[in-house]
Amino acid sequence: MVSARTSSDPARDIPEATVARLPVYLRALTTLVDAGTSTCSSEELAQAAGVNSAKLRKDLSYLGSYGTRGVGYDVEYLRYQIAREIGVTQDWPVVIVGIGNLGHALANYSGFRSRGFRVVALLDADPRRHQEAVAGVVVRPFADLERIVEEQDVAIGVIATPAVASQDVADRMVAAGITSILNFAPSVLAVPDGVDVRKVDLSIELQILAYHEQRKSSAAEVIA
């Protein structure tokens, strides 16, 4: 049989830098749709997304030719195409492990649902957390992980445990069949090939800011 992929969707590999920007474009387009805009130019969209218009056009060109020269892009249509390319036209089931300070905030976060994700389970090792419901989802024992992942076909896991527990949690997730992990713990996770890990690290972000802040002060000193 011939490949099921359409001509507009060959298995081309989109540069990683572009992939990281597509969600930004998606959000900018959603904002435009909500504002009732039906068409926009690369210049307008680029401004809304905070990037250079040449870069935007180049990024979009990896997806296909969805614009019209002399006119611009159909906002609704482009939004759907990007959502499809990212894979958020349907909801992805997600489990969150570690329902402490941060886990609670994540579980309460309404932006999940509206952006292509659905929290199907909240897990914690501490029995005192169990039975509590956060945003309508009950906190369950960590031991339930394997069953939930299998039953609900979960591919994405979020780790919000202390750093010391994060590698163990990741190992269990991978063994259970999870292949994408978002790690909020300040740790470096080791995972097998084929498993993607992204990390969100507050301290690192602040320290990067601190570095530049320090340079600003010393630059000021030189002038003074």
Ligand X SMILES: NC(=O)c1ccc[n+]([C@@H]2O[C@H](COP(=O)([O-])OP(=O)(O)OC[C@H]3O[C@@H](n4cnc5c(N)ncnc54)[C@H](O)[C@@H]3O)[C@@H](O)[C@H]2O)c1
Partner DNA sequence: AGAAGTTTGTGAACGCGAGAACAAACTCGT
Partner DNA sequence: ACGAGTTTGTTCTCGCGTTCACAAACTTCT
In terms of DSSP H, where are the helices of the chain?
16-34, 42-49, 53-61, 75-86, 101-108, 111-114, 145-152, 163-176, 202-223
> Which residue's CB is nearer to ligand X, number 76 or number 137?
137
* In the complex, minimum distance from the CB of residue 51 to DNA, in angstroms, rounded to a whole number: 7
Q: Which residues, 6+ apart, have CB-to-CB distance to 58 below 8 Å?
A: 18
* 207 is a contact residue toward DNA (CB under 7 A): no
69 binds, among a second copy, DNA, ligand X, none (CB under 5 to 8 A by kind): DNA
* In the complex, minimum distance from the CB of residue 101 to ligand X, in angstroms, rounded to a whole number: 3
Three-state DSSP class for 38? coil
49 binds, among ligand X, DNA, a second copy, none (CB under 5 to 8 A by kind): a second copy
Candidates 81, 89, 30, 37; CA nearest to 59 is: 81
Print the binding letters for residues 103-142 with a second copy: x by CB under 8 A, - otherwise.
-xxx-xx-xx--xxx-------------------------
* 62 is a contact residue toward a second copy (CB under 8 A): no
> Which residue's CB is nearer to DNA, number 65 or number 114?
65
| 184, 160 contact by CB (below 8 A) | yes
Query: d(Cα 210, Cα 121) in Å, to the nearest integer?
Result: 37
Q: Which residue has the tokens 């309460």?
A: 108
> Which residue's CB is nearer to a second copy, number 57 or number 115?
115
User: Which amino acid appears at position 57 of this protein?
Assistant: R
Q: What angle, 0 to 180 degrees and rounded to 10, lies between the N-to-C axes of helices 145-152 and 163-176?
A: 40
Quick one: DSSP state of residue 76? H
Query: d(Cα 197, Cα 19) in Å, to the nearest integer?
Result: 15
Stretch that binds DNA, among 65-73, 116-124, 139-147, 163-171 (CB under 7 A): 65-73
Segment 33-62, which members bind DNA (CB under 7 A)?
A: 40-43, 51-55, 57-58, 60-61
φ and ψ at residue 134, rounded to 5 degrees: -120, 120
Three-state DSSP class for 155? coil
- Which residues of this chain interact with a second copy, rule CB under 8 A? 3-4, 11, 19-20, 22-24, 26-28, 48-50, 85-88, 92, 94, 101-102, 104-106, 108-109, 111-112, 115-117, 155-156, 179-182, 186, 188, 190, 194, 196, 198, 200-214, 216, 218-219, 221-222
- Which residues of this chain interact with DNA, rule CB under 7 A? 15-18, 40-43, 51-55, 57-58, 60-61, 65-73
